Amino acid sequence: MNLNEIYNDYGGMVYNLCCRMTNREMAEDLTQDIFIKIHESIADFRNESSLSTWIYKIALNHCLNHIRREKLKKIFSLDAVFHSGVEPVSPPSREPDRIYETGETGNELHSAIMQLPTGQRTAIILQKFENLSVKEIARIMEVSISSVESRLYKAKTNLARILLHNNQGAMQ
Protein backbone atom coordinates (compact mmCIF):
# COMPACT_ATOMS: atom_id res chain seq x y z
CA MET A 1 0.00 0.00 0.00
CA ASN A 2 1.56 3.31 -1.02
CA LEU A 3 1.23 6.60 0.80
CA ASN A 4 -1.32 7.94 -1.67
CA GLU A 5 -3.63 5.01 -0.96
CA ILE A 6 -3.03 5.35 2.79
CA TYR A 7 -3.96 9.03 2.61
CA ASN A 8 -7.10 8.29 0.60
CA ASP A 9 -8.20 5.65 3.11
CA TYR A 10 -7.08 7.22 6.38
CA GLY A 11 -6.52 10.96 5.71
CA GLY A 12 -10.03 11.87 6.87
CA MET A 13 -9.73 9.70 9.94
CA VAL A 14 -6.42 11.30 10.99
CA TYR A 15 -7.71 14.81 10.31
CA ASN A 16 -10.88 14.15 12.34
CA LEU A 17 -8.90 12.78 15.25
CA CYS A 18 -6.63 15.85 15.20
CA CYS A 19 -9.64 18.19 15.11
CA ARG A 20 -11.16 16.45 18.11
CA MET A 21 -7.98 16.13 20.13
CA THR A 22 -6.97 19.76 19.53
CA ASN A 23 -8.81 22.17 17.21
CA ARG A 24 -9.37 22.75 13.49
CA GLU A 25 -6.66 25.39 13.26
CA MET A 26 -4.00 22.97 14.42
CA ALA A 27 -5.44 19.89 12.72
CA GLU A 28 -3.95 20.55 9.27
CA ASP A 29 -0.40 20.96 10.56
CA LEU A 30 -0.74 17.94 12.81
CA THR A 31 -2.14 15.82 9.97
CA GLN A 32 0.79 16.84 7.78
CA ASP A 33 3.32 15.89 10.49
CA ILE A 34 1.57 12.59 11.09
CA PHE A 35 1.69 11.64 7.40
CA ILE A 36 5.37 12.52 7.24
CA LYS A 37 5.89 10.16 10.20
CA ILE A 38 3.85 7.47 8.48
CA HIS A 39 5.95 7.94 5.34
CA GLU A 40 9.15 7.61 7.38
CA SER A 41 8.11 4.53 9.29
CA ILE A 42 5.87 2.60 6.91
CA ALA A 43 8.71 0.08 6.49
CA ASP A 44 8.41 -0.70 10.22
CA PHE A 45 4.79 -1.77 9.92
CA ARG A 46 4.79 -5.52 10.60
CA ASN A 47 1.09 -6.45 10.35
CA GLU A 48 1.12 -7.22 14.09
CA SER A 49 -1.91 -4.95 14.36
CA SER A 50 -4.27 -3.63 11.71
CA LEU A 51 -3.02 -0.69 9.64
CA SER A 52 -5.72 1.54 11.11
CA THR A 53 -4.63 0.71 14.70
CA TRP A 54 -1.01 1.47 13.77
CA ILE A 55 -2.02 4.80 12.20
CA TYR A 56 -4.24 5.66 15.17
CA LYS A 57 -1.28 5.06 17.50
CA ILE A 58 1.02 7.35 15.51
CA ALA A 59 -1.67 10.04 15.23
CA LEU A 60 -2.61 9.87 18.87
CA ASN A 61 0.98 10.01 20.14
CA HIS A 62 1.65 12.99 17.92
CA CYS A 63 -1.46 14.82 19.17
CA LEU A 64 -0.63 14.04 22.81
CA ASN A 65 2.94 15.29 22.35
CA HIS A 66 1.57 18.45 20.79
CA ILE A 67 -0.83 18.95 23.73
CA ARG A 68 2.04 18.46 26.21
CA ARG A 69 4.20 20.98 24.34
CA GLU A 70 1.36 23.50 24.29
CA LYS A 71 0.77 23.03 28.03
CA LEU A 72 4.44 23.69 28.71
CA LYS A 73 4.43 26.73 26.42
CA LYS A 74 1.40 28.06 28.25
CA ILE A 75 3.00 27.50 31.65
CA PHE A 76 6.29 29.13 30.63
CA SER A 77 4.63 32.08 28.90
CA LEU A 78 2.51 32.74 32.00
CA ASP A 79 5.60 32.38 34.14
CA ALA A 80 7.36 34.97 31.97
CA VAL A 81 4.41 37.36 32.27
CA PHE A 82 4.31 37.06 36.06
CA HIS A 83 8.04 37.54 36.37
CA SER A 84 8.02 40.57 34.10
CA GLY A 85 5.53 42.27 36.44
CA VAL A 86 3.06 42.93 33.60
CA GLU A 87 -0.57 42.14 34.35
CA PRO A 88 -1.87 39.29 32.23
CA VAL A 89 -4.74 40.18 29.90
CA SER A 90 -6.94 37.42 31.29
CA PRO A 91 -6.56 35.36 34.45
CA PRO A 92 -4.81 32.03 33.88
CA SER A 93 -7.00 29.00 33.55
CA ARG A 94 -6.61 26.32 36.19
CA GLU A 95 -6.60 23.76 33.40
CA PRO A 96 -4.07 24.36 30.62
CA ASP A 97 -6.18 22.26 28.24
CA ARG A 98 -8.69 25.07 28.17
CA ILE A 99 -6.47 26.95 25.73
CA TYR A 100 -8.06 24.88 22.99
CA GLU A 101 -11.56 26.00 23.77
CA THR A 102 -11.19 29.23 21.87
CA GLY A 103 -10.24 27.31 18.72
CA GLU A 104 -13.76 25.89 18.34
CA THR A 105 -16.59 28.27 18.90
CA GLY A 106 -20.22 27.32 18.99
CA ASN A 107 -19.59 23.73 19.86
CA GLU A 108 -20.41 23.06 23.45
CA LEU A 109 -19.71 19.36 23.23
CA HIS A 110 -16.23 19.93 21.82
CA SER A 111 -15.52 22.53 24.51
CA ALA A 112 -16.65 20.13 27.20
CA ILE A 113 -14.48 17.32 25.84
CA MET A 114 -11.49 19.66 25.81
CA GLN A 115 -11.88 20.12 29.56
CA LEU A 116 -11.41 16.42 30.24
CA PRO A 117 -8.02 15.04 31.27
CA THR A 118 -6.18 13.71 28.19
CA GLY A 119 -6.67 10.02 29.08
CA GLN A 120 -10.43 10.40 29.41
CA ARG A 121 -10.56 12.67 26.37
CA THR A 122 -8.71 10.18 24.20
CA ALA A 123 -10.90 7.27 25.29
CA ILE A 124 -14.17 9.14 24.73
CA ILE A 125 -13.10 10.48 21.32
CA LEU A 126 -12.07 7.04 20.12
CA GLN A 127 -15.29 5.46 21.35
CA LYS A 128 -17.87 8.09 20.56
CA PHE A 129 -16.52 9.67 17.38
CA GLU A 130 -14.36 6.94 15.90
CA ASN A 131 -16.77 4.16 16.88
CA LEU A 132 -13.98 1.92 18.14
CA SER A 133 -14.54 -0.96 20.54
CA VAL A 134 -13.09 -0.94 24.05
CA LYS A 135 -10.65 -3.65 22.97
CA GLU A 136 -9.40 -1.56 20.03
CA ILE A 137 -9.09 1.54 22.23
CA ALA A 138 -7.06 -0.46 24.76
CA ARG A 139 -4.72 -1.62 21.98
CA ILE A 140 -4.27 1.92 20.64
CA MET A 141 -3.78 3.51 24.06
CA GLU A 142 -1.65 0.57 25.23
CA VAL A 143 -3.61 0.17 28.47
CA SER A 144 -5.83 -2.59 29.85
CA ILE A 145 -9.48 -2.98 28.87
CA SER A 146 -10.60 -2.26 32.45
CA SER A 147 -8.56 0.95 32.41
CA VAL A 148 -10.34 2.06 29.22
CA GLU A 149 -13.73 1.20 30.74
CA SER A 150 -12.89 3.19 33.84
CA ARG A 151 -11.75 6.19 31.79
CA LEU A 152 -14.89 6.06 29.68
CA TYR A 153 -17.14 5.93 32.74
CA LYS A 154 -15.35 8.87 34.38
CA ALA A 155 -15.31 10.81 31.10
CA LYS A 156 -19.08 10.45 30.68
CA THR A 157 -19.76 11.47 34.28
CA ASN A 158 -17.49 14.50 33.93
CA LEU A 159 -19.00 15.43 30.57
CA ALA A 160 -22.51 15.36 31.99
CA ARG A 161 -21.41 17.63 34.85
CA ILE A 162 -19.59 20.07 32.54
CA LEU A 163 -22.37 20.22 29.96
CA LEU A 164 -25.10 20.71 32.56
CA HIS A 165 -23.02 23.29 34.41
CA ASN A 166 -22.35 25.23 31.19
CA ASN A 167 -26.01 24.98 30.23
CA GLN A 168 -27.11 26.36 33.60
CA GLY A 169 -24.65 29.24 33.13
CA ALA A 170 -26.06 29.96 29.69
CA MET A 171 -29.66 29.88 30.98
CA GLN A 172 -28.96 32.46 33.71
Partner 1 sequence: MKHQYVRNVMIQYLDGELNRSASDRIKLHLNECKQCNSEYRFLQQTWGQAKIQVFTPGPELKMKIFTAINQQPYPGGSSAFIDLLFRFSPVTLAVTLGLITGLLQTNQLRTNLNQISSSGIPVIETIDEIGNFPGDSPENFILTSTGIGSLQ
Q: State the residues that interact with partner 1 by CB under 8 A.
A: 3-4, 7, 11-12, 15-16, 19-20, 24, 27-28, 31-32, 35-36, 39-41, 107-110, 128-129, 153, 156-157, 159-161, 163-164, 167
* Gap between the Cα atoms of 110 and 114, Å rounded: 6
Nearer to partner 1, 90 or 131 (CB): 131
Q: How far is the CB of 111 from partner 1 (least distance, A)?
A: 11
Distance of CA 96 to the CA centre of its chain: 13
Nearer to partner 1, 42 or 143 (CB): 42
Nearer to partner 1, 77 or 146 (CB): 146
Q: What's the number of CA atoms in the CB half-sphere (13 Å) around residue 92? A: 15
**Among 126, 131, 129, 118, residue whose Cα is nearest residue 158:** 118
* Gap between the Cα atoms of 48 and 51, Å rounded: 9
Q: How far is the CB of 157 from partner 1 (least distance, A)?
A: 5
Q: How far is the CB of 105 from partner 1 (least distance, A)?
A: 14
Nearer to partner 1, 41 or 77 (CB): 41
* Gap between the Cα atoms of 67 and 76, Å rounded: 14
Task: For residue 142, give the H/E element and its range.
Answer: none
Task: For residue 113, give the H/E element and its range.
Answer: helix 108-114
Nearer to partner 1, 31 or 122 (CB): 31
Q: How far is the CB of 11 from partner 1 (least distance, A)?
A: 6
Q: In this structure, are residues 159 and 113 in contact, taking their beta carbons and an 8 Å threshold?
A: yes
Q: How far is the CB of 91 from partner 1 (least distance, A)?
A: 27
